Amino acid sequence: MAVDYTKYLRMDKMPLYWCPGCGDGIVLKCYLEAIDELGWSKDDCAMVSGIGCAARVTGYVDFHTLHTIHGRAIAVAVGIKMSHPDKHVFVFGGDGDLVHIGGNHLLHACRRNVDVTVVLINNWIYGMTGGQHSCTTPPGAKATTAPRGSFEPTIDVCKMAIGAGAGYVARGFAGDPTRLKKLIKEGLEYKGFSLIDVFSPCPINFGRRNKLGDPAKLLEHMKSFLVSSAKAKRMSEEELKGKFITGVLHKDTEKPELTEAYKSIVEKAQASDEYWAKYVKGTLSESDKNKITREELKKLYPYDVETPLKQWKKL
């Protein structure tokens, strides 16, 4: 049965803001299908985004949503997840947002294996600000800040995430939505940090500037960089140079998830009173003959200023 997307969208915010041919809508659709298949209540879902085209997703999905500042969405998401370990927390964002300016937060979320699902819409360009080159722009590709072509090497975000210790890392392609949905769903289900790096076309600010033709042709161009993980196994290192492998690239079922790890610290802390015993020294109990008097308090705080104490507003 077809998915009723309107169930998950704020329909009064339609139509979508994205340009014709943009991959963001495809990715959002795959993501909503995955959520629908999992049967998660939108009441239990929170999504955070930073700034950029992809970050606009938080405006459309009918979850608890935060549209934060550039680059920091993952850090904000960690704060939510740590406070509410039983809820589902997601981040949507672009390459400029999550990898370039916000790269440090991505690295450390990977390392922590915090149960947040990040959908990274990787379009190789700063789209919203008008086509400046980012850390994922292929060398030689033109951008408004690289009129002669970018002279910087690019980054394989998935390799970086695996190196940093992410529990689940996958790469998808907006041109292959059926597989993309599966990859996202597996990431959502994974208990730990999951990153889905989605190659997605920006026909206006990347394709057009690089004379790559219409959106369909741009998809073909992007696809030429991609190799499925099954096929990659049969390829030599030399052949894989400059290629990006798609599919589930890494899944660690052993690594503890962050909120679970914290739970065990809490249990350990509550089982022993080592610090409590140390700090509670000087506790005054109700029956204590040393019950603090107003005069004693007044000596500790002799100023003519109000206190937050209910009993003695002024000492």
Partner 1 sequence: MGRIAFLNANAAVAEAALVAGLGFYAGYPITPSSEVPERLSKIMPEKGLPFMMMEDEIASINACVGASASGVKAMTCTSGPGFSLKQEALGMACMFEVPLVVVDVMRGGPSTGLPTRPSQQDIMQARWGTHGDHPIIAVAPCNAQEAVFETIRAFNLAEKFRQPVVLLTDGSLSHLHTKIYIPDPDEVEIVDRAQPEVDPENYYPYDYNYEVPPLAKWWTEDGKSYRYHLSSLIHDKTGFPTVYPKYAQWLLERMHNKILNHRDEILKYEYYKMDDAETCIVAFGSTAEAARVAIDQAREEGIKVGMFRPLTIWPSPEEQIRDIASKVKQFIVAEMNLGQYKLEVERIVGGRAPVYGVSQAAGVLIRPSQIYDKIKDPSKRVEIGLTEEELKRFGGGE
Partner 2 sequence: MGFHYELRFAGVGGQGSLTAGTILAHAAVFHTNYYATQVPTYTSQVRGGAAKADIIISDTPIVFAESTNVDFFLATHQKAYDAYKGDLKKGADVLVDSGLVKVPDEDAKIYKIYEYPLVKVAKYEIGNVVTMNVLAVGICVGLTHVLDVEAVRETVKEEVPERFLDMNLKAFDMGLEVGEKFRREGPTKK
List residues binding partner 2 (CB under 8 A). 281-282, 299-300, 302
Task: Please identify, using beta-carbon distances, which residue of 68 and 150 lies nearer to partner 1.
Answer: 68
**Run of H or E including 274:** helix 274-279
- Segment 104-133, which members bind partner 1 (CB under 8 A)? 104-105, 107-108
The Cα angle at residue 135 between residues 133 and 141, in degrees rounded to 5: 45
The length of the chain is 315
| Residue 301 interacting with partner 1 (CB under 8 A) | yes
Interface characters, 10-49, with partner 1 (x: CB under 8 A): x--x----------------------------xxx-x-x-
CB of 271 to partner 2, least distance (A): 19
| Residue 191 interacting with partner 1 (CB under 8 A) | no
> Which residue shows structure tokens 């909120």?
259
Interface characters, 253-282, with partner 1 (x: CB under 8 A): ---------x--xx-xxx--x-xx--xxxx
- Segment 53-82, which members bind partner 1 (CB under 8 A)? 58-59, 62-69, 72, 75-80, 82
> Which residue shows structure tokens 């080159």?
133
Q: Report which of 120, 139, 131 is spatially closest to residue 71, judged by C-alpha positions.
A: 120
User: In 10 A of CB 95, how many CB atoms?
Assistant: 29
CB of 72 to partner 1, least distance (A): 4
Picked from partner 1, partner 2, none, the partner binding residue 208 (CB below 5 to 8 A depending on kind) is: none
DSSP string for 16-67: P-SPTT-SHHHHHHHHHHHHHHHT--GGGEEEEE-SSSGGGHHHHB-SEEEE
CB of 284 to partner 2, least distance (A): 11
Q: Give 221's DSSP letter.
A: H
Q: Yes or no: say if 171 and 249 are a contact pair by the CB < 8 Å rule.
A: yes
Picked from partner 1, partner 2, none, the partner binding residue 35 (CB below 5 to 8 A depending on kind) is: none
